[in-house]
Amino acid sequence: MIEVKNVDKSFEGNRVLKNVSAIFETGKTNMIIGQSGSGKTVLMKSIIGLHRIDKGRIEYDGRNLPDMKMSNIRILRREVGMLFQGSALFDSMSVLENVMYPLEMFSPSTKEEMIERAYFCLKHVNLEEKAFDLAPSEISGGMQKRVAIARAIALQPKYLFCDEPNSGLDPKTSLVIDQLIHEITHTFGITTIINSHDMNSVMEIGENIIFIENGENAWQGNKDDIFHVHNEALNNFVFASELYKQVKQANQ
């Protein structure tokens, strides 16, 4: 579980996160949603430690990240997997080498065990074996996302972060990626945090949703609660499209 308590973060006097508190539960797909510029990316980067917060606590199962030395943060990060918006695969390496990389860097396993683990991860994300030796630039965006997920779970992380996992993908592939993240979260008991403004994802896999508005935690609930909320900002954000307005009416 990751617990965020009273977190504040400013950039050059501009207060981006205002006393944010939230709980991200283990074995659930926790989603941070909000409009562009609301502070959700800053919140996620603060939780990972890419931004140093001004005030508050970020506890990874009781371990407070802001109190840690860099060397301890590096050790903690070995328990973290991350899926980046643009996949962030290493373009000088093949698909298999990308997944092998964290294993070679940190795992005490033998070469054979590492290859076995990489194959397991790549097959778990339904990637065909013929793609293993290709460069990331030679595979589609959806496949790149799957490779990035395989790399993120290679070291069996306790925490998985996904930054806009569906960005640039067609609806069908987006659904596949959402279901994959959801399945991995439940199968391996990971604390997953997804930063998204894709309402399809929210409705599909949003088990614990945090709505950020103007740097504040404006609402927290799940995908079923979201239809019965009287928060105007949340309603304007979630039910902005005609389709979702109709879905809401049908649910009420």
Positions that interact with another protein (CB under 8 A)? 48, 50, 73-78, 80, 82, 84-86, 88-91, 101-102, 104-106, 155, 161
How near is the Cβ of 248 to another protein at its closest, in Å? 35
Instruction: Provide the total of helices (H) and of strands (E) in the chain, helices listed first.
Output: 9, 10
Distance (Å, whole) CA 85 – CA 161: 11
Question: How far apart, in Å, do the first and last CA atoms of the chain sit?
Answer: 33
How near is the Cβ of 102 to another protein at its closest, in Å? 5
Q: For another protein, give the closer residue by CB, 160 or 177.
A: 160
Q: What is the DSSP letter of 84?
A: B
How near is the Cβ of 41 to another protein at its closest, in Å? 12
**Residue 26 structure tokens:** 């283990």
Look at the block and give the residue holding tokens 């972060």. Answer: 161
How near is the Cβ of 195 to another protein at its closest, in Å? 13
How near is the Cβ of 48 to another protein at its closest, in Å? 6
Q: For another protein, give the closer residue by CB, 106 or 188.
A: 106
Q: For another protein, give the closer residue by CB, 55 or 74.
A: 74
Q: Which of 248, 43, 246, 243 is nearest to 234 (CA)?
A: 248
Distance (Å, whole) CA 201 – CA 175: 7
Q: For another protein, give the closer residue by CB, 18 or 51.
A: 51
How near is the Cβ of 184 to another protein at its closest, in Å? 17
Kindly report each contact of residues 167-171 with a partner whose C-beta sits within 8 Å and lies 24 or more positions away, as own/partner.
167/85, 167/86, 168/86, 168/141, 169/141, 169/142, 169/145, 170/142, 171/200
**Ramachandran quadrant class, 65 (left: phi over 0; alpha: psi -120 to 50; beta: rest):** alpha
Q: For another protein, give the closer residue by CB, 20 or 83.
A: 83
Q: For another protein, give the closer residue by CB, 48 or 199.
A: 48
